[in-house]
Amino acid sequence: MDPSFITNLTTLKNKTYDYIIIGSGFGGSVSALRLSQKGYRVLIVEKGKWYKDKDFPKTNYNLPKWLWIPFLRFFGIMKLTIFRHLAVLSGVGVGGGSLVYANTLPIPKTNFYKTGSWSQLANWENELKPYYQMALKMLGATKNPKLFNGDFELQQLAKKLGKEKDFKATNVAIYFGKTGIKVEDPYFNGRGPDRTGCVFCGGCMTGCRYNAKNTLDKNYLHLAQQHGAEILAEQEVYNVLPLDKNKGETGYEVYIKSSTKIFKKKQVLNAKGIIFSGGVLGTIKLLLKIKNKSLPNLSNRLGEDIRSNNETLVSVSKLDKNKDVSKGIAIGSMLHTDENSHVEIVRYSEGSNFWKFLHLPYTTGSNAIIRLFKMILAFIKSPIDYLRIYFSNSWAKSTVVLLFMQTIDSNLKLKLNSFGGISSKVTKGKKPSPFIPESVAISKKYSDITNGKETSFALETLAGIPSTAHILGGAVMGKNTSEGVIDKDNKVFGYKNMYVIDGAMISANPGVNPSLTITAIAERAMSKIPKKS
């Protein structure tokens, strides 16, 4: 870790910031840059660590650098959170989800803007157009120039379905340039860091070791620091208290403690404004815990309208050893299967085989007994094939993950439980399911084309709990407190100069990877704040 990146706590005690931003993901990073450009004194508090390219793990077997499990002293870039109705993958570290995401930057279809609690607040499709373009430029988006095994098979599937026109290479936040060649900043007229051409190793989601991935520490955060924004890593906010004990008109106290040390020294910081940008699991968990004692004016809608992007993750392991599917970028292609659905090919780099230990044969059924029976039957029918999947050391080379998403809604609620933790509850519609019929059919057709075997995260077979990397909502937009937690400009109802700007603000189901949309909405929210006088 580079000490120059760390803001010393002792220098913060007597400072009052214009804004303290909780979290350094897409919403927090945009906020930090735009506010610091407008002359505001900004501090970002991030519970994760600073990671340089060389710090990322070579494979996901290096659990202490890959997973965030503080109890085990693992301080990696990805966190796995399991609820009754959902298993959630999320990012941790300076740069938030950008460190571990698959770089994919699609713009949602029209249905996204016309559904959910925000639909009547603005003409969102037109309103967000310029901000999508701004976000694409800032994140260095470009079309994937090269397809590999896995992508070619998805292309075959498109042809088989008569949907060749609906197959496309992804738009991604990667610098391609010349493979492995370092160049001076190609994005910000020399104000950004040097970049290196992508080597197509497939390691985007364990952290790019080759300086090709346009993570937030290489654009928004890098530029924000040049404008004076400070970043305080390895610290966690555990309370936010209005100074006037009412609506925060005179500012806030922000209580922080170490997120990585065993003995957690506590500190209090002061700010005139607060931006919650810790992602759904960070922001909603914190707000639920402090609502009654510190922020009683928060809407009772807090924690409602949690969405999973109606997502499924099914792994397909090829039995043909001659085809290596680990080469390429994490998500190099996608196929729109109908007006509400699409599927993407996801890969890990060679050697990143840890996921196989958490996978079981993919089976469907109305209850766990039926699924277990089918799983045992699958083993009996193809014992050699499954033994090869689990005991050979080439899972990443032979396996792609089919990421299936839909714009169709299924809503959950996150709430405090009697143990002080957070639990999930179904509120309306069907609960999220790993057995979406369209996904099941697509997975079967893809495995037939590739002569592969389907597996999935064990909880899906054993408990029917789906997995998602794109949890959204919980502090959605609305006309008032009876409909949402924030207004159309991301201001929190009931408090002055307080915002939610992260995945928690997403108020409908985009049905695509949401990072670009979070960035665009954050850009719009920041455009509404005037320059500091």
Active-site residues: which are they? 470
Q: How far apart are CA 486 and CA 504, in angstroms?
A: 10
Query: CA–CA separation, 274 vs 248, rounded Å?
Result: 10
Sign of CA dihedral 434, 439, 441, 446: negative
CB 347 within 8 A of CB 353: no
> What are the Cα distances from residue 37, in Å, to 139, 277, 500?
18, 19, 20
| DSSP tag of 432 | P
195 vs 219: CA distance, rounded Å:
11
Instruction: Find where tokens 């839909």 sit.
Output: 406
How far is the C-alpha of 236 from the C-alpha of 249, rounded, in Å? 24
Torsion over CA: 438, 439, 440, 442 (sign) = positive
Longest distance between any two alpha carbons in the chain, whole Å? 73
Where do the DSSP E strands lie in 277-391? 306-307, 312-318, 331-338, 341-346, 359-361
Q: In the beta sheet, which residues pair with residue 499?
A: 275, 491
Q: Are 73 and 258 in contact (CB under 8 A)?
A: no
Nearest to 45 by CA among 234, 271, 303: 234
**8 Å CB contact between 511 and 309:** yes
368-381 and 383-391 helices, crossing angle to 10°: 100
